[in-house]
Structures are given as C-alpha cells and as structure tokens.
Structure 1
Amino acid sequence: MTQHEQNSISASDLPERGQPLAGGTFVTRYWLNGAERALILLPDELSGPWGEYDQDVADAKSYSDGAANTRAMAEAGSDLATRVLELDAHIPSHLEGALLMSAKADDLVTLREDRWHWLSTQYSANHAYTLAFGDGWLSLSGKVYVRLVRPVRSLPIQ
C-alpha cells in the first residue's frame, strides 16, 4: 500500500478551498467522529463494481465515515476498495459525496458529469449509494454494476 507522507495538517497551514493539498485539491473542513478534518479530492478516477450481489457488508453503512466503509468493503473482497486504499485514500461516504457536490457547485473542483459515481455507504445487501455530479442526484445502484469512483483523503486538522 502506498503511504501518503502527510498524516495531519495544522489549521494555520490549510490553503484556501480549491487549492492543492496532499496530492489533491482541498475541498473543505468538516467534522468526523469528534475531530475536525480536511477533505481532499484526488485526481485519480477508478471504475468497477462496488462489491458482490447479496453480500451485506455490515461495517460499510456509515453515512459519514468513508474510510471505515472503504476498509470494510476491501475486507469483504471489493477489488475497487482495495485499489482505492492502495492510493492511501478512500471512497467518499454519503456525507463526503455531498461535500464534493457542494465544492463542484462552488466551482472549486471539476467532477465528471456523464457517469454515476459510487459512494462507500451501503444501502442494502444488493445496493449502495451513487451520486451523479452533473445534477447532484443521489440514488441507489446494484453493487455489481460498474461505476466510477473519485477517491478522497481526509486529514485531521491540528
């Protein structure tokens, strides 16, 4: 697994939203599990199925913690999640996807608009959430379908 050298960032060292940070683009500050974090959109684009049909990944149901969801997906055998983790990144959660959509609407990031993107939040044993960045539609898709992923990083703010 490739390890990104930056593990946290000082609040005083944060760039303006939309500027480079930790190998990607700084999207926004947000709170996760009681800690303030910096969300970073990576330039990579991957595609593949979310996972297996009729496989409940019990630890991939967080609406906010994409990193935990992505680890659970990889442990359950998701090739897509494993490839994202190798980038020292994760698949955005439901919340992180909404934050990306907000940054796109503010013209801070560019996101592909012609395809659906996976979110790491599982809906059921057969479906996971997807987001269309063209119009902001949130939907469900069968986990076996091939969709895009734009990996993100989340750094603790000190």
Structure 2
Amino acid sequence: MTKVAQQTIAAADLPERGQPLAGGTFVTRYWLNGEERALVLLDDELTGVWGEYGLNVPGAKSYSAGEANTRAMAEAGSEVAVKALELGAHIPSHLEGALLMSAKADGLVTLRDDRWHWLSTQYSAYSAYGVDFVDGWLTSGVKDLERLVRPVRSLPIR
C-alpha cells in the first residue's frame, strides 16, 4: 500500500538542514525543472537489483529527475522501484545522490558506507549509476547486482 506523503512545503516552514521533515531528514533545497524543491532523506533502507540486465529503460535516463526515473523503473518491472514508490518516495537520481553525499560530508545525515547504493539514473541497458557513500564515488554497475537504496522525497517549495 502506498503511503500518503506530504506533497509541498512553504518556504517559511522549512526547518534547518539535517532536521526532521516529511517523514525523514531535510537534506537541502535544489532546483529541478525550473522549480525549487526540498530534498528529504527517508530512514527506510531497501535492497534489490536495479532491474533486468540488458533491458533499456528510456524513461530512466535523467540525471536530475529521480521520481520520473523511479516510475519508469517500476513500469519496467523493478521491484526496488515499486517498493520506493509504495513509501511515497523515489530512488535518488545522479544529482540527488550527490546532494546526499554533500549532506553526509556536512554531518547532516547518516548513510551506510559499507555497501554501494543504487541511483535511479540508468547508464545503459546493462548498467545504472550507483554511489559509494564512503567518499562519494559515482560509478555505473551491472543492473542485476543487489545494492542498497535509501529512498528520498522531493517536495516543491511554495
């Protein structure tokens, strides 16, 4: 069952970075498709494969729009994407992964650094991007490897 999550936030209601917001921790403000947004890291931790090796998912190639990527992944059969969407969240994009690493480096969030985490940005039909939160390495990995996912929410700021 999909959780109903907070949909928007007023700029005046934003907490300090690293503080609770919308069922998670407020990471930062950023711009996506001409709209200012608040990135929220959930505490949930998922594991799974990105998707089917050799299957191109054209709708999952955005370096910035994690929610659109995650929806395309789910439509292509990705179980971990479906789980993230059921939480009212999505798998971070390449950009959102970098913002999470910045928040970790600033001491605002805790992210496991003993395993790679999937990002929702597809690299090719055979691989997708992942991030290592030890030092922020972004690389591509074979889609049928099991990795961690830390879902995020991206709320429009009004």
Question: TM-score band, normalised by the shorter chain?
Answer: over 0.9
Q: Distance in 1 between matches of 2:157 and 2:86?
A: 23
* Counterpart secondary structure, 1:26: strand
Segments of structure 1 that go 5 or more residues without pairing to the other structure are none
How many residues in Structure 1 have an aligned counterpart in Structure 2? 158
2-structure distance, mates of 1:121, 1:150: 14
Secondary structure of 1:59 counterpart = helix
- Which letter does structure 2 place at the counterpart of 1:28? T
**Which residue pairs with 1:45 in the alignment?**
45
Letter of the aligned partner of 1:117 in structure 2? H
**Runs of 4+, deviation exceeding 4 Å:** none
Matches within 5 A, 1:1-158: 1-158=1-158
Question: What's the offset of the Cα at 1:2?
Answer: 2.1
Identity %: 74
Structure 2: runs of 5 or more not aligned = none
* TM-score relative to the length of structure 1: 0.98
Q: Residues 5 and 117 from structure 1, CA distance in 2 versus in 1: closer, same or farther, beyond 3 angstroms?
A: closer
C-alpha distance in structure 2 between counterparts of 1:15 and 1:4, whole Å? 21
State the TM-score, normalizing by the size of structure 2: 0.98
Separation in structure 2 between the aligned mates of residue 6 and residue 80 of structure 1, nearest angstrom = 21
**What code does the residue aligned with 1:71 have?**
R
- Deviations 1:2-60, CA, capped at 9 Å, x for gaps: 23342100000000000000000000000001100000000000000000010000000
Equivalent AA in structure 1 for residue 3 of structure 2: Q
Q: Check the 8 A contact 2:5/2:88 in 1, yes or no.
A: no
RMSD (CA atoms): 0.7
Q: Distance in 2 between matches of 1:33 and 1:50?
A: 25
